[in-house]
Structure 1
Amino acid sequence: MPTPPRRLGARRRRPAVLAMAVALIAAGGLGGAVLYNSSGQRIAVLALARDVPMGQVIGSDDLVVAHIAGDPALHPLDAQDLQRTVGLRATTDLKRGALLVKSDLTSDPATQPGQQIVGVSAKRSQLPATKLQPGLQILIVNTPDAKGDGTATRTPDTMTAVVSAVGRPDTDGSTVIDVAVGPADGPRLALWVAGGRFQVILAPRTAGGS
């Protein structure tokens, strides 16, 4: 008896194979669509509307709500946290357009209990070239009157302070700096500032680099 050709059996199986292939492709496409929709889902988060220097208190004008695609690698603050974010301080320099994360903010006060805040209006020539930032320790030197020969009449007084806030430069180039000092040093520093004879210098760093 002659053996039936194999081609007939292959033809009979081919529609089933094609149907299975179509089903797998459809299932793969559906899975891809679900994955796309999941990864493309947009969420409302907080971002920076403008630059905020380290130590500055966050205001509502500093923030904007951004809508981004959800990504498990990103952990920005939710837009619903807006009211809880206002009033916190920046732990680092924050740049416009950046997403806001929890580590960017702190509720810790800029000053210690008992310290006084004194506003120091300084000219460019009275400040170091290095940008002052909140939390930075500085020395304020009371520069005494000089004699006609240029020598100082006495040893200058020096006061240790911590920068708590830095204002924007004025049109004349001067900048107001809020500094935290001890309760006994506040009135004395106010007199130095009123007289205009002082210099702001950076405090020496410790061996640990702080």
Structure 2
Amino acid sequence: MTRRNNLLLVDGDFRRRAAISHCLSGSGLHVEPFEDTSELFSRWPRDGLLLVHDNGTAIADLLQHMGQTGDWLPIIAFADEPSPRRIVEAVLHGAVDYMVWPFDERQLTDSMDLAEERARSVAGAKLREAVARSRVERLTKREREVLAGVAGGLSNRLIGEKLNISPRTVEIHRANMLNKMGATHTSEAIRIAIEASLVG
């Protein structure tokens, strides 16, 4: 199995970035350090593996960016003494692995191998979900309600009755919804809603 040799390290702590870079200095990996996600976004790489300090917002920011751009890179999250809940949340949101700092070169390269394996199986699905979520987030609350009604197989009249608005207003919201989602027809909007986990 070939592993990416470009490790993109996102961590606001200068000392920890330096320690991780030093730990990997003889590994043959190219470590590119970034202070935060906005610095990474301004120089988004073509390839690599993200090693991200889980500061509470970085993973969500990265997934939102990848959903909007369609450029997916696997994420390994890490933190000092993370709670089990925090680890589970990071993985559910899209991290392919989670490490506890401090770690050594062997632990990291093992995690990178695991991340590559998982990335192949989940990257496509995670990327589709992230792209779909970013499209659904463009909608107003009312447009999301109309989308949920459409996905539930309701007619404009029934959606209107449920939301206490006229069928004509539903039609307007429906047209706006399709336009904002970049969908050419209703079935495409429903597929996007399913990929975004808005409907089951």
Which of the two has greater strand per residue? 1
Radius of gyration: which is bigger? 1
TM-score, normalising length: structure 1: 0.24
| Higher helix residue share | 2
